[in-house]
Amino acid sequence: MTVRTGAPRTAVEVPVEDARALRRVLGRFATGVAVVTAMTPHGPRGMTVNSFASVSLDPPLVLFAAARSSSQHGAFARPGPFAVHVLGEDQRAVSARFAAPGLDRFDGQEFVPGEDGTPLLPAALAVLECRAEQVVRAGDHDIVVGRVGRATKAVDGPAVRPLLYYGGSYRKVSDEYDGDIDWSPLLL
Ligand SMILES: Cc1cc2nc3c(=O)[nH]c(=O)nc-3n(C[C@H](O)[C@H](O)[C@H](O)COP(=O)(O)O)c2cc1C
């Protein structure tokens, strides 16, 4: 069935039971890309996520969702420290490395230990050192809520450009809106 929306776009309803089709709908929400890391008794672990979100400023809380089926799930779905690295547009290879199944992701990967031993990756646009406070079961994922203990950002400048994920592909920011929104059509 096609449905007319307000904007000059034609919409198609998809069955929510169809996971692949639903994923394509959810892929219309553009996100940044982050790598979460944690130290475990078996060594450093990490995975690429785009479910990262800021939650609260006071107290400072962030979240991401970890697939329960992931080999990395156990490293994050527990109380303890982890770090979030917000990737820049030149870090597609880092994203790919930390999403690759069956690879030792830290093999040849440069990192330094944070204050609590969490592996910190170089060159991210922002790094949030956190401690998981809540792990909430949500279907086939667990939502990890972390309190931010330390926040670092790359110094502002032309090289600070985010890696984006949209429609199942990596993207770059291409345009910035110039000036303010024209509100006049809303003013009677
Ligand atoms: C751009 C991108 C975003 C992703 N976001 C998530 C996410 O939010 N949560 C998650 O559990 N996996 C996410 N993944 C998938 C994991 O990175 C990947 O499946 C996992 O690390 C693969 O390892 P495994 O097969 O050993 O579990 C994402 C992958 C990519 C490329």
What residue owns the CA closest to ligand 1's atom 19?
Answer: 99
Three-state SS for 26? helix
Which residues are paired to 85 by β-bridges?
35, 127
pLDDT digits (tens, 9 = 90+) for 117-136: 999 999 999 999 999 999 99
Q: How confident is the model at residue 116 (pLDDT cuts 50, 70, 90)?
A: very high
What is the per-residue DSSP string for 79-104?
SEEEEEEEPBTT-HHHHHHTT-TTS-
Query: Which residue has better confidence, 140 or 183?
Result: 140
Q: How confident is the model at residue 103 (pLDDT cuts 50, 70, 90)?
A: confident
H runs (alpha helix) in 5-152 = 19-26, 73-76, 92-97
Predicted local distance difference test score (pLDDT) of residue 175 = 76
**Which percentage of the chain shows pLDDT scores above 90?**
85
Looking at the domain assignment, is residue 36 inside a domain?
yes
Looking at the domain assignment, is residue 3 inside a domain?
no
Looking at the domain assignment, is residue 124 inside a domain?
yes
What residue owns the CA closest to ligand 1's atom 13?
Answer: 49
Q: Pick the atom of ligand 1 nearest to 165's CA.
A: 1
Count of structural domains within the chain: 1
Looking at the domain assignment, is residue 175 inside a domain?
no
Q: Identify which of 99, 100, 127, 96 has the alpha carbon closest to the alpha carbon of residue 111.
A: 127
Domain that holds residue 73: 16-169
Q: How confident is the model at residue 187 (pLDDT cuts 50, 70, 90)?
A: confident
- Helix, strand, coil shares of the chain, percent, nearest 5, are 10, 45, 45
Half-sphere exposure of residue 96: CA atoms within 13 angstroms, side-chain side: 7
What residue owns the CA closest to ligand 1's atom 31?
Answer: 99
Looking at the domain assignment, is residue 21 inside a domain?
yes
Cα distance between residue 180 and residue 188, in whole Å: 19
Query: What average pLDDT does range 46-54 have in this prediction?
Result: 98
Q: 73: domain CATH number? A: 2.30.110.10
Centroid of ligand 1 to alpha carbon of 182 (angstroms): 39
Query: 108 in the Ramachandran plot: left (φ > 0), alpha (ψ -120 to 50) or beta?
Result: left
Predicted local distance difference test score (pLDDT) of residue 34 = 99
Looking at the domain assignment, is residue 10 inside a domain?
no
pLDDT digits (tens, 9 = 90+) for 163-177: 999 999 999 998 777
Predicted local distance difference test score (pLDDT) of residue 188 = 63
Give the range among 3-7, 16-20, 152-156 with minimum mean pLDDT. Answer: 3-7
CA atoms 139, 48, 163, 124: torsion sign: positive
Query: What average pLDDT does range 84-95 have in this prediction?
Result: 98
Q: Pick the atom of ligand 1 nearest to 67's CA.
A: 11
**Residues flanking ligand 1, CB < 6 Å:** 33, 47-51, 64-67, 70-72, 95, 99, 101, 165
Q: What is the pTM (predicted TM-score) of this model?
A: 0.93
Looking at the domain assignment, is residue 182 inside a domain?
no
Looking at the domain assignment, is residue 101 inside a domain?
yes
